[in-house]
Chain A
């Protein structure tokens, strides 16, 4: 039986077991939306308020559901509005399939109304992209797109479908078990390499594991723990590796990088072995490369061969899925103990705590972001999913919330997209309907995608929005404070009445600016059944420490 191309699109999504689509209709994707009208019982469509929100919501959904996030947008501005979200997904290895409408093939290339070169624009920010100009192509291209998005190192795929292809009729049959040969060649570790890596681990006196996002994507957390426990290896995490293992695990030593723990940054340069698992030695992790881990051999486990030796030269590289590599490695690892080495982490960690207390004395009885997350952490027992925006709130959320459940810190790490949290929390809440989902935002970031309050209202999602308002673009102000002689160039922000805005969307809220009220307000916030905005007025000039200044070595980490 023949169906239209638009129906073939929906059938393809059903074949891929897609349950949620985030999108926005427009001229060039109307046939697809018309076909979707008949399948509302099978697929939930979430109407966002801006296409960037669709991409971030799809990212949030994909990050916690182990599924591919799907979004729809029309041609021209619809497609270009997706771009920030697609770039974000590319940087953070998030599987997305973005389906954009396009003008009919007969007018492609004529600067037709709402025509834009989506393939050209998205080439450098997608894992793969393809323009469908005939309905015949739809089934095969969709199967390929979903396969590419979710396998290997996951990433975003764009499918641009011309309007004529949506109208054309086609005999539909969906390919079964699609696969690509090049992906079966991904695991490039052999017995020899495994044994060499194991030898280095067994001989190491001062080893340090750095676990990244790849551990979460590959669901390798148990294998990582088994290996670390057997050889008694300290585990540090990257920003995206947070919540890989519970923070109260005895082997956990903290976060690496620009705002990572003091001890971890200092001791990175004393380690004789760095084991990077599912991470990419990003510049925010390494500081200046020429002074990074000078005494260490490096074992790098990653599924993306192009990450090997890109920034840090490896002693042994194990290219493959983190879980499979760790499983192969485990039998060769000998029981070991690194008591003295752990003691150094403990000693420096205590020093950091003491210093923190001293530094924060002047903020006693004032509301600062660290206290907000400390209290929130206690009140939720570390079991909420925190979707953090970008900037100071992101770093305080990373450092002061005690993550106890797996994959519960979702943020924009690679691209650092302000405005990520609110729409991403929509996807997270849809994938985890019974979990407590908290969107942590600054006053700057919230206003970049604030229109998604409308989506939260329409979808009746119980998202808790934690607005940390210091009337500044806090992280930029911090840099101006530390590196630009306190010249606060255009970082002060005159803000609207956020509670009135929330109220306009039917979302309850409260403002708190007195420290004595903070605990009670946070309690109300997490116990509220529906969406809620808690605006916390925080100290204006309060900085995140420790900090590795840009261009400095990790062991030049500053405590103030």
Chain B
């Protein structure tokens, strides 16, 4: 079943992280519906939030794949509907 999911990523504020996240989604032909990114605190850390419509069985796999990105510190997700 297709679910709408919001992913929240905490990562180092460096070039290329968003590109790697987008690549993980592209490889599985997953579309991004909304996207925001902004630095927090010292500007060394950034958060990336995006929502997507995704097959239920893939939700956790995507989070784990994103977590493998070296600059990513943490990933959480929320199933909205």
Contact = CB atoms under 8 A, between A and B. Distances in A.
B10 to A, nearest CB: 12
B16 A123 contact: yes
A123 B19 contact: yes
A408 B52 CA distance: 45
Contacts of A310: 61
A306 B23 contact: no
Please classify the interface of chain B as helix (H, G, I), strand (E, B), loop, or mixed, using the class held by over half of its residues. helix
A127 interface: yes
27 contacts: A119-B16, A120-B19, A123-B16, A123-B19, A123-B20, A123-B23, A124-B23, A124-B27, A127-B70, A128-B70, A129-B16, A148-B70, A180-B70, A182-B70, A182-B73, A304-B68, A305-B64, A305-B67, A306-B61, A306-B64, A306-B65, A306-B67, A306-B68, A308-B64, A309-B60, A309-B61, A310-B61
Nearest to A313: B57
A100 B60 CA distance: 35
Interface string A172-196: 0000000010100000000000000
Interface string B16-54: 100110010001000000000000000000000000000
Nearest to B24: A124
Nearest to B26: A124
Interface in A282-316: 304-306, 308-310
Nearest to B63: A306
B20 to A, nearest CB: 6
Contacts of B20: 123
Interface string A120-141: 1001100111000000000000
Contacts of B73: 182
A343 to B, nearest CB: 38
Interface in A221-266: none
Interface string A299-342: 00000111011100000000000000000000000000000000
Nearest to B74: A182
Given A127-B70, A305-B64, A308-B64, 12 more contacts: A123-B16, A123-B19, A123-B23, A124-B27, A128-B70, A129-B16, A148-B70, A180-B70, A305-B67, A306-B61, A306-B67, A306-B68
**When A and B form their complex, which 8 residue pairs have the shortest distance between CB atoms, in order from nearest?**
A306-B64, A124-B23, A128-B70, A306-B65, A305-B64, A123-B23, A310-B61, A306-B68
A182 B27 CA distance: 24
Place the interface of chain A in its size category.
10 to 19
Interface in A352-372: none
Contacts of B68: 304, 306
Interface in A421-466: none
Nearest to A153: B68
Nearest to A308: B64
Among B19, B60, B65, B68, residue most surrounded by chain A Cβ atoms (within 10 Å):
B68
A309 B23 CA distance: 21
Interface in B66-80: 67-68, 70, 73
Nearest to B61: A310
A289 to B, nearest CB: 11
A182 B11 CA distance: 12
B53 to A, nearest CB: 20
A129 B16 CA distance: 9
Contacts of A123: 16, 19-20, 23
Nearest to A310: B61
Contacts of A124: 23, 27
A42 to B, nearest CB: 29
A95 to B, nearest CB: 14
B36 to A, nearest CB: 22
Contacts of A305: 64, 67
A284 to B, nearest CB: 19
Nearest to B73: A182
A306 B66 CA distance: 9
A147 to B, nearest CB: 10
A304 B16 CA distance: 22
Interface string A18-37: 00000000000000000000
A180 B27 CA distance: 27
A119 B16 CA distance: 9
Contacts of B64: 305-306, 308
Contacts of A309: 60-61
Contacts of B70: 127-128, 148, 180, 182
Nearest to B68: A306
A130 B3 CA distance: 35
Contacts of B60: 309
A35 to B, nearest CB: 27
A156 to B, nearest CB: 13
A220 B43 CA distance: 42
Contacts of B67: 305-306
Among B27, B64, B65, B70, residue most surrounded by chain A Cβ atoms (within 10 Å):
B70
Contacts of B61: 306, 309-310
Among A120, A123, A308, residue most surrounded by chain B Cβ atoms (within 10 Å):
A123
Nearest to A155: B68
A154 to B, nearest CB: 13
Contacts of A308: 64
A359 to B, nearest CB: 40
Contacts of B19: 120, 123
A333 to B, nearest CB: 28
Contacts of A120: 19
Contacts of A182: 70, 73
B51 to A, nearest CB: 21
